[in-house]
Structure 1
Amino acid sequence: MKPSSLERYRQTLEQQVLPCWQNVSVAKGTAPALQAWINELSRDRAPSTVKKAHHAMSMILDFALRDRRIAANPASGINLPRARHDEPTFLTREQLFTLAEKAGPGKLVVLTLGFTGLRWGEMAALKVQRWDGGRRRLTVAESVTEINGLLNWGTPKTHATRTVPVPTWLAERITESTAGKGPDDLLSSTPAGGVLQNKNARRDWFD
């Protein structure tokens, strides 16, 4: 499991599960009690958040079941809130260019994200050697995320290396940005050459 996934589980436990259940024995985690907890969470939390909390609790109860502390997992029959299936919203080409202009020094990063579909961590991990200007291809083989102030390097979300085509006009800008950089330098970085972190970039470019 990726460190980022472990961190999300930790946050779910601390924010949704433990406040209600940390001092309750698993034997008292009955189906009615669990349903009441889920109903309470659903009052002010998104369905996806509630489902993550239920999943975390269910895994705890599965462990108790394997350890023969309970006879069955009472979380298996709980009614969960329905997920909202809102229509996805996409920026138009003009909106993307407007956003990129507002990003100032982050213009090329915004354009790269918008026209390639890369995730932030994939973009931030790209090194110059992953750029093939002749074929106009980016090779996505790593990803980097920040967890509790520390950078964690790993594989992309799908664990698979892939190549991503880049429009000609954008490829020219990317090639220009590599001038003076070595193959192991980051393709996009902070002024000091460090890893671009999402929250810092948003603050520096848009706030």
Structure 2
Amino acid sequence: MDPVSSSAQGRRGYRRRARFAVAGPGMAPREREMTVGALYADWMRLLTTQGLRGRPIAASTAANYRKNWHRHIAPRWSSTPVDQVHWRDVGEWIAGLQAGSRGQSGNNTRRRVALMFIRLMRHSVYLELLPENPATDATGRAGYVPRAPVEKRRIYLSMPELQALAGQCAPWTDLIMLAGTTGLRWGEITALQARDFRSTPEGWLLDVLRSWTEGDTGAPSPNTKNGGTRTVPVPDKVAAMVLGVRPPEGLLFRSPGRSGVPGGRLHHSNFAARVLRPGAAGAGLDPAPTFHDLRHTAVSLILHSTKDVKLAQRIAGHSSAQLTLDTYAELFEQTLFTASRALNGLIE
């Protein structure tokens, strides 16, 4: 007998985990009359408890899946039996996907929904409910998926540019400086509390312990995007800037309150429209950086000042240094000849 390939082993392992998630131990998997709605519930249970590779998906990914399901997929497919899904019907549905009262959804939304639906229906194959994915044609392709958008060019601010932007974003100067020097994501920085800062003999550290995800209405999730926590260094001047003006208890950064009542969670769309974009215009930054560009800025400043990839990985919260190298390859291209110039200076 031919040895089993690693991909086949992976599929078998997936089936074992999926069957357990669907039926529970000692029970047979459900038959093909399962509806897409029931399939979705089982798929999400697997993703959020065991995951496909032994680790649950990030809370932000789960939140996006739920949003796409309730807003776009469930109205059309929830009650449809899985064996009545056909890729031509899926293609027509994606092409005419509507965004509520605002008309047709954009390419990015239709692409995200289409790819999620394909992954969802692949679950029926791994459960052996269907012989092949009904959301793809006989060749395994899905020509109805819109093309991937051209990736927006990242913006890396210099320290003077970061300070100019922060100055124009008052009274959120400290938030901008903290984001641009620590690389925290929006959900992480808006979930911070004063107790997350730690003073050490060498300087300030910041424990990144929790994060908001889209749709959160209660407390933030007790982990970050990658399901873990991390500790990052904070410049002393930035730590003093934050702790000198922010409340000692509760959320550090809150929306403006009314009539003496403290505000609640900051929302990204409001902050970008009312603070960040006007601040960028005031600082003469064109194109205007997004909040995520402040994360790129932090990694860039760390790499240029220390040349330490492992520290940049820690700042970014990446699972490996290789991911950091791949994500920020363009920064390393800018310093391609740094080593040769340094050696050249040693030659007499």
Q: Output the TM-score relative to the length of structure 2.
A: 0.48
Partner Cα separation in structure 2 for residue 36 and residue 97 of structure 1: 50
Structure 2 residue matching 1:153: 3-state secondary structure: coil
Q: Name the structure 2 match of 1:198.
A: 267
Q: Which residue of 181, 184, 187 maps to 2:252?
A: 187
Q: Which residue of 182, 185, 194 maps to 1:128?
A: 194
Confirm or deny that 1:106 pairs with 2:172.
Answer: yes
In the TM superposition, residue 109 of structure 1 has moved relative to its aligned partner by 0.9
Q: Name the structure 2 match of 1:82.
A: 147
Confirm or deny that 1:54 pairs with 2:114.
Answer: yes
Greater relative contact order structure (CA < 8 Å, 6+ sep): 1
User: Where in structure 2 are the equivalents of 1:1-207 lying within 5 Å?
Assistant: 1=48, 4-18=60-74, 20-21=76-77, 25-38=81-94, 45-47=106-108, 49-65=109-125, 66=127, 68=129, 70-76=130-136, 77=140, 78-79=142-143, 80-83=145-148, 84-134=150-200, 135-145=203-213, 147=215, 149-177=217-245, 181=248, 184-190=249-255, 192-199=261-268, 200-202=270-272, 205=275
Q: How many equivalent pairs are there?
A: 201
Q: What percentage of aligned pairs have identical amino acids?
A: 25
In the TM superposition, residue 176 of structure 1 has moved relative to its aligned partner by 2.5
Q: Does the Cα contact within 8 Å between 2:64 and 2:214 map onto a contact in 1? A: no
Structure 1 residue matching 2:174: 3-state secondary structure: helix
Q: Does the Cα contact within 8 Å between 1:105 and 1:205 map onto a contact in 2? A: no
Q: Does the Cα contact within 8 Å between 1:124 and 1:195 map onto a contact in 2? A: no
Structure 2 residue matching 1:142: 3-state secondary structure: coil
Based on CA coordinates, which of the two structures has the bigger radius of gyration? 2
Partner Cα separation in structure 2 for residue 44 and residue 15 of structure 1: 11
Partner Cα separation in structure 2 for residue 146 and residue 16 of structure 1: 16
In the TM superposition, residue 40 of structure 1 has moved relative to its aligned partner by 5.2
What is the CA deviation profile of residues 46-85 of structure 1, one whole-angstrom value per residue up to 9, with x for unaligned ones?
34x33421233234424544373x4321224213343223
Q: Output the TM-score relative to the length of structure 1.
A: 0.73
Q: Name the structure 1 match of 2:335.
A: none
Matched letter for residue 55 of structure 1: L
In the TM superposition, residue 173 of structure 1 has moved relative to its aligned partner by 1.5
Output the aligned Cα RMSD.
Answer: 3.4
In the TM superposition, residue 156 of structure 1 has moved relative to its aligned partner by 0.6
What is the CA deviation profile of residues 19-67 of structure 1, one whole-angstrom value per residue up to 9, with x for unaligned ones?
55457554442233334444556x96334x3342123323442454437
Structure 2 residue matching 1:125: 3-state secondary structure: coil
Question: Residues 88 and 107 of structure 1: is their aligned pair in 2 closer, same or farther, counting only changes over 3 Å?
Answer: same
Matched letter for residue 106 of structure 1: W
Partner Cα separation in structure 1 for residue 195 and residue 158 of structure 2: 31
In the TM superposition, residue 91 of structure 1 has moved relative to its aligned partner by 3.5
Q: Does the Cα contact within 8 Å between 2:206 and 2:232 map onto a contact in 1? A: yes
Structure 2 residue matching 1:10: 3-state secondary structure: helix
- Where do 5+ consecutive residues of structure 1 fail to align? none
Matched letter for residue 266 of structure 2: Q
Higher share of residues assigned strand: 1
